[in-house]
């Protein structure tokens, strides 16, 4: 039975089916919202879902314009109908994807879409009134991009609408001339419109607001989202004849649910978890806790496989090899050894990790030594300069001259090229920010080779890194020694938060402010010269409305010196600018070189980093994406190799200077900060 919806003065009752559905959704929402504050006071154990499933329902307010007179091949009415209005039902299951605290996402709805309307009554040539009801319905597919401009619950969406026609009926009634009282009305004519388009492609734009019906920290989370969308008449010509078109305003609500991801528990053997304290701030729960390792190593030997970037960076305005690169005299060549570079005094060092920069600034000496050991190896030096190919060739020529005159490399083994931009540039067309730093990174000479003896395992191509160097050093304050302070929910509840850490003598350390949900601090930096200490920790949160809330807890920190024979292995994966997917170039390297070094029971710490270019939030996301890429590959290869009981820890630090291996003053330092580091710690 078809429901006709009439927008004339008799039609208010006919609106009831659609609005009763919407009313029920809103009433249910209000009842659940009443429980909202109580629910949120529970302890946090999950983070918000990325995937949401549910159903959307609403009313289509349809506005027909244009003209129609030929209803089908057997019925052409005496006068043309022009304007019609009506309300139809919309009902569809839905799926959404948007990561927590991300602006962008995607939506998909597939469902029933009714475009009912009653046309304005017209007068025929016999002065008889004529009425027309249209019942046109579709199965509609509506994919949309979702954008939350303020990273809040308000979102906008837009996308195409593909509709497949499933109903095209009409009711036509010709009345009587009021001048003839005894005239009998014509019979109601029911039929189907002819020439109806089977599929139509149009568009929609809309807005919605997520009302959380359960705590954002619960495993299963429910959301009610009132929405409104606009469907312009573009593409909405239901028939291939005449000029009829439809504009629709849709008003409704979506009910969604998702399953949160459980927060990974800390290992009981290495972490002592303090009680969780919850602070409710403007309908958001902030759970404060501290994790302090029971044993904090002071130092640990590191056997590091250090990658060699195949770049030599030049100073702006100069084609000479920069003085920071270590250049040998001809008499020093015979005594140069890769595994003894620590004894060579560098001319100039910059950065936290002098050992690694010392290695990198010997890149030309390493290259010359390897070419002498592999007489068949050839290279191409590609100079890239903002001044043009000629200047780039001069830069490359200075490196060639050094290799030929100092290492006696046959000049025919070294080719020269010049370019404006490197093949993988940092500065992109249309860029406007941090151009000086980007251009410094693009003024370089790339060392290209097809000789496997010079290149990293399983690498090939023009941008393949050189074979890495193995170093042995001492690491201070490794990541598994850091004290982690958690303020779960602070991203939403606070504009910022800070820490006051008071020792037994009343001395207070002020740390912060922070905006993330957690921060890790080296235990040694808190203890100073002490071997242990008891501290009172006060979290001070500042809400977005300007209020201040505090919460206190206690923590004990103890230093412990590891056995002398403990040795950690470290591997580094390097990335190009703003790239997280280059990791798959290293898949074989991670599977065949790194994975065999992991033993059952080991701890593997994977930490991603970026340089300082770009905003901090994007850098943090990029470093997490890079670290998770490495984690996925290692998990697959460990499962294949049947390596079990491995404690994997993943961190993304962005450009945080506390954790960066290098400074960001030189282009080579910034390039090396675009990395994921894999630390393999054996079972104790």
Q: What's the whole-number mean pLDDT along residues 16-25? A: 45
Q: What's the whole-number mean pLDDT along residues 234-263? A: 90
Q: Measured between alpha carbons, how far is 407 from 643 in angstroms, rounded to an integer?
A: 45
pLDDT score for 618 = 86
Q: Are the C-beta atoms of residues 364 and 341 closer than 8 Å to each other?
A: no
Q: How far is CA 220 from the centre of its chain?
A: 22
Q: What's the whole-number mean pLDDT along residues 191-205? A: 95
Q: What's the whole-number mean pLDDT along residues 173-189? A: 81
Q: What's the whole-number mean pLDDT along residues 668-674? A: 89
State pLDDT tens for residues 542-590. Answer: 888 788 888 888 888 876 555 555 678 889 888 876 554 556 678 888 9
pLDDT score for 125 = 86
pLDDT score for 577 = 61
pLDDT score for 302 = 74
Instruction: Name which of 236, 175, 170 is nearest 203 in CA terms.
Output: 236
Average predicted confidence (pLDDT) for the chain: 81
pLDDT score for 555 = 85
Alpha helices by DSSP H, listed for 230-332, are: none
pLDDT score for 30 = 41
pLDDT score for 66 = 93
pLDDT score for 453 = 85
Residue 110, number of CB atoms within 10 A of its CB: 15
Q: 268: pLDDT confidence band, cut at 50, 70 and 90?
A: very low
Domain boundaries, the chain: 13-261, 271-294+477-560, 310-464, 566-684
Percentage of the chain lying above the pLDDT 90 cut: 41
> What is the pTM for the complete model shown?
0.50
Cα–Cα–Cα angle for 411, 417, 418, rounded to 5 degrees: 140
Q: Is the pLDDT of residue 352 over 70?
A: no
pLDDT score for 524 = 76
Instruction: Name which of 193, 168, 176, 162 is nearest 76 in CA terms.
Output: 193
Q: Print the SS3 string covering 225-253.
A: EEEEEEECCCCCCCECCCCCEEEEEEEEE
* Higher per-residue pLDDT: 16 or 172: 172
Q: 163: pLDDT confidence band, cut at 50, 70 and 90?
A: very high
Take residue 100 and report the two structure tokens written for it.
Answer: 């927590």
pLDDT score for 625 = 87
CATH homologous superfamily, domain 310-464: OmpA-like domain (3.30.1330.60)
CATH homologous superfamily, domain 271-294+477-560: Immunoglobulins (2.60.40.10)
pLDDT score for 437 = 87
pLDDT score for 28 = 47
Q: Are the C-beta atoms of residues 292 and 267 closer than 8 Å to each other?
A: no
* Higher per-residue pLDDT: 462 or 392: 392
Residue 472: φ, ψ to 5°: -125, 125
Q: What's the whole-number mean pLDDT along residues 442-463? A: 84
- Residue range 566-684, CATH number: 3.30.1330.60
Q: 262: pLDDT confidence band, cut at 50, 70 and 90?
A: low
Same fold, 310-464 and 566-684: yes
């Amino acid at each position: 039975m078809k429901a006709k919806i009439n927008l004339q003065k008799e039609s208010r009752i006919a609106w009831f089916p659609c609005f009763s559905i919407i009313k029920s959704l809103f009433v249910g929402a209000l009842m659940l919202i009443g429980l909202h504050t109580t629910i949120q006071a529970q302890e946090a154990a999950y983070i918000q879902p990325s995937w949401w499933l549910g159903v959307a329902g609403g009313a289509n307010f349809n506005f027909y314009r244009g003209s129609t007179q030929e209803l089908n091949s057997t019925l052409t009415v005496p006068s043309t109908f022009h304007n019609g209005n009506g309300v139809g039902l919309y009902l569809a299951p839905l799926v959404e994807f948007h990561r927590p605290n991300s602006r962008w996402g995607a939506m998909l709805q597939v469902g029933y879409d009714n475009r009912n309307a009653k046309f304005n009554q017209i007068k025929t040539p016999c002065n008889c009134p004529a009425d027309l009801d249209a019942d046109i319905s579709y199965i509609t597919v509506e994919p949309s991009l979702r954008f939350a401009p303020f990273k809040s619950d308000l979102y906008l969406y837009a996308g195409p609408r593909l509709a497949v026609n499933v109903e095209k009926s009409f009711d036509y009634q010709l009345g009587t001339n009021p001048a003839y009282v005894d005239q009998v009305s014509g019979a109601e004519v029911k039929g189907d419109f002819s020439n109806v388009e089977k599929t139509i492609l149009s568009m929609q734009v809309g807005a919605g607001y997520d009302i959380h019906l359960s705590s954002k920290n619960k495993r299963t989370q429910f959301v009610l989202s009132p929405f409104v969308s606009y469907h312009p008449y573009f593409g909405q010509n239901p028939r291939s004849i005449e000029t009829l078109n439809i504009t629709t305003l849709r008003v409704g609500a979506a009910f969604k649910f998702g399953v949160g991801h459980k927060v990974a528990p800390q290992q009981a053997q290495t972490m002592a978890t303090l009680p969780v304290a919850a602070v409710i701030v403007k309908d958001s729960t902030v759970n404060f806790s501290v994790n302090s390792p029971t044993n904090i190593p002071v130092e640990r030997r590191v056997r590091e496989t250090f990658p060699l970037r195949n770049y030599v960076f030049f100073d702006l305005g100069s084609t000479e090899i920069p003085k920071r690169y270590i250049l040998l005299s001809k008499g020093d060549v015979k005594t140069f050894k890769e595994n003894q570079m620590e004894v060579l005094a560098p001319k100039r060092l910059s950065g936290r990790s002098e050992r690694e920069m010392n290695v990198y600034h010997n890149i030309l000496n390493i290259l010359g030594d390897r070419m002498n050991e592999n007489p068949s190896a050839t290279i191409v030096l590609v100079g890239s300069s903002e001044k043009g190919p000629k200047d780039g060739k001069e830069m490359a020529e200075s490196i060639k001259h050094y290799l030929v005159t100092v290492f006696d490399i046959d000049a025919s083994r070294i080719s020269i090229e010049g370019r404006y931009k490197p093949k993988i540039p940092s500065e992109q067309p249309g860029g406007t920010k941090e151009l000086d730093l980007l251009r410094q990174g693009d003024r370089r000479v790339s060392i290209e080779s097809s000789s496997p003896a010079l290149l990293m395992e399983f690498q090939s191509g023009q941008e393949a890194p050189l074979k890495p160097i193995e170093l042995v050093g001492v690491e201070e304050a490794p990541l598994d020694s850091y004290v982690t302070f958690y303020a779960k929910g602070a991203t939403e509840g606070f504009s910022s938060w800070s820490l006051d850490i008071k020792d037994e003598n009343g001395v207070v350390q002020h740390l912060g402010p922070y905006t993330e949900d957690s921060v890790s601090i080296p235990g040694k930096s808190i203890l100073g010269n002490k071997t242990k200490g008891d501290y009172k920790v006060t979290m001070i949160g500042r809400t977005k409305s300007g209020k201040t809330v505090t919460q206190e807890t206690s923590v004990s920190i103890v230093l412990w010196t590891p056995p002398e024979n403990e040795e950690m292995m470290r591997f580094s994966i390097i990335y190009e600018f703003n790239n997280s997917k280059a990791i798959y170039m290293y898949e074989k390297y991670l599977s065949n070189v790194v994975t065999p070094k992991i033993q059952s029971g080991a701890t593997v710490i994977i930490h991603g980093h970026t340089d300082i270019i770009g905003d901090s939030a994007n850098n943090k996301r990029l470093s997490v994406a890079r670290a998770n890429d490495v984690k996925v590959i290692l998990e697959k290869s460990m499962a294949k190799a049947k390596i079990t009981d491995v404690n994997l820890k993943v961190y993304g630090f962005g450009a945080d200077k506390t954790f960066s291996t290098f400074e960001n003053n030189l282009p080579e330092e910034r390039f090396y900060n675009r990395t994921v580091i894999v630390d393999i710690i054996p079972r104790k």
